[in-house]
Structure 1
Amino acid sequence: MTLYHFGNCLALVYAPYHMAYKFSGISEYASFSKCVYAGVLYIFTQLCKMLVLATFFPDSDSQMNGEYDVFLELLKATVDFADLFGMYFALNSVPGKAHAKILTTAIGWASAEVAVSRSVSLWVGARGAEFDWRHVRSCAEANVALLQHAASAALVWLCARRDLPRALAPPVLALAALTPYRALLEDAAAALLALAAWPLLALRALHAAALALVTLAFYAIMAQQSSV
C-alpha cells in the first residue's frame, strides 16, 4: 500500500512534466540537454539566492520571536529577481522558435525545482505507513509550479524582445516585475481570507492560470506582428 501511494505521487508529479515535454513538440528540437541546462541554472540561481539571503538577511530578533516583518519579507522576495535573470540565460541557450525556448526553459526549471524541493520529502514521507493528503497536495503544487514557470519564462522572453509593441510594454513589464512577489501576495491573500491548505492551492492554481492566459494573449499578439 505504501509503495502504491508512493507510485501515485510520483505519477502525479512527473507525468504532467513528461507529457508537456513529449506532446508540446519540443522533443523534436533535441532539447533534452537544454532542459538539463535550465535545471542546472536553476540550482546555481538558488545557491546564489541562498548566499545573498544568508549574507544580507540573517535571522533577526523579530523572526526568532515569530513576528512578521512586511518590509523584510518584501526585501527577501526581491531576491527572487535572480530567477528571472536565470531564465533569461536559459532562454538564450535554446535554439529554435519562441515556443521551444519558453517550454524548454519552463520544463527544465520546474523539473529541477521538483527534484530539489520535493523528491526527498516524497521518498521519505509518501513511503510511510499511513496515507497523508499532504503529499498529494505537494504533488499538485508541483503541477501548478510548472504553469507558473511557463508564464514567467514567457514574460522574460517578451521583455527581452526589442520589437515588443509599445502598447504591450507596460503590462508585460508590470507582470514581470510582480513575478518575484507572487508567493508573497498569495500568502497575504490566504492570511486575509483565512484559507486552509487546499483552498490556498486552489487560489494559487487560479492565479497561475490567469497569469498564463494573459501571458498567452500577449504572446499571441506578438506572434501575429512578427515571425517568432
Structure 2
Amino acid sequence: MTLYHFGNCLALVYAPYHMAYKFSGISEYATFSKCVYAGGLYIFTQLCKMLLLATFFPDSDSKVDGEYDVFLEILKATVDFADLLGIYFALNAVPGKGHAKILTAAIGWASAEVLVTRSILLWVGARGSEFDWRYVRACAESNVSLIQHAASAALVWLWTRSDLPKKHAPIVVTLLALTPFRGLLEDAVGSILGLSAWALVSVRALHAAGTGLAALGMYAVLAQQIGI
C-alpha cells in the first residue's frame, strides 16, 4: 500500500510534465537540452533569490508582536521578479517559433521546480505507513505550477515583442507586474473567505487558468497577424 501510494503520487506529479513535453510538439525541435538549461537557470535564480532575501530580509519572522507585517511580505515578494528575468534568459536560449520558446522554457523551469520542491517531500512523506491527502494535494499543486509557469513564459515572450498590439501592452505589463504577488493574493483570498486547503488549490488553478487563457488569447492574435 505504501509503494502504491508513492507510485500514484509520482505519476500525478511527473506524468503531466512528460505528456506536456511529448505531445506539445517541442520534442521534435530537439529541445531537451534547452529544457535542462531552463532548469539550470531556475536553480541559479533561486540561489540568487535566497541570497537577496538573506541579505536584505535577514529576519524571516514576519510577525511583530503577533501581527502579520503585510508590507514586509510584499517587499519580499518583489524578489520573485528574478523569476521573470530567469524565464527571459531561458526564452532567449531557445531557437525557433514562439510556441516552442514558451513551452520549452516553461516545461524546463517547472520541471526543475518540481524536482527541487517535491521529490524529497514525496520520498520522505508519501512512503510513510499511512495515507495522507496532503501529498496528493502537493502533487496537484505541482500541476497548477506548470500552468502558471507556462502563462508567465507566454507573458514574458509577449512583452519582448515589438510588434505586440498596443491595446494588449497594458494587459501584458499589468499581468507581469502582478506575477510576483500571485501567492500573496491567493493566500489573501483564501484567508478572507476561510477556504480549506483543497479550495485554495482550486483558487490557484482558476487563477493560473485565467492568466493562461489571457496570455493564449493575446498570443493567438499576434500569431495570426505576423504568421508565426
Taking structure 1 as the reference length, the TM-score comes to 0.98
1:22 and 2:22 aligned: yes
**Letter paired with 1:9:** C
Using the alignment, how far apart are the partners of 1:110 and 1:142 within structure 2?
Answer: 8
1:134 and 2:134 aligned: yes
Listed as ranges, the matches of 1:22-171 within 5 Å are 22-59=22-59, 63=63, 66-171=66-171
- The alignment of Structure 1 onto Structure 2 pairs a total of residues equal to 228
Runs of 4+ more than 2 Å apart: 60-67
Using the alignment, how far apart are the partners of 2:46 and 2:66 within structure 1?
Answer: 25
Q: Which residue of 2 aligns with 1:214?
A: 214
Using the alignment, how far apart are the partners of 2:61 and 2:12 within structure 1?
Answer: 40
Listed as ranges, the matches of 1:185-196 within 5 Å are 185-196=185-196
**Letter paired with 1:169:** A
CA deviation digits over 1:132-180, x for unaligned, max 9? 0000000000000000000000000000111111111111111111111
CA deviation digits over 1:102-155, x for unaligned, max 9? 000000000000000110000000000000000000000000000000000000
Using the alignment, how far apart are the partners of 2:45 and 2:10 within structure 1?
Answer: 25
Quick one: structure 1 residues 61 and 131, their matched pair in 2 at CA, closer, same or farther if it must change by over 3 Å? closer
Using the alignment, how far apart are the partners of 1:67 and 1:154 within structure 2?
Answer: 37
Offset at residue 44 of structure 1 (A):
0.3
Deviates more, 1:33-42 or 1:60-69: 60-69
**Letter paired with 2:39:** G
Report the aligned-residue RMSD. 1.1
Using the alignment, how far apart are the partners of 1:144 and 1:43 within structure 2?
Answer: 19
The unaligned stretches of length 5 or more in structure 1 are: none
SS in 2 for 1:130: coil
The unaligned stretches of length 5 or more in structure 2 are: none
Quick one: structure 1 residues 127 and 98, their matched pair in 2 at CA, closer, same or farther if it must change by over 3 Å? same
Using the alignment, how far apart are the partners of 1:92 and 1:52 within structure 2?
Answer: 24
SS in 1 for 2:68: coil
Identical aligned pairs, as a percentage?
75
SS in 2 for 1:151: helix
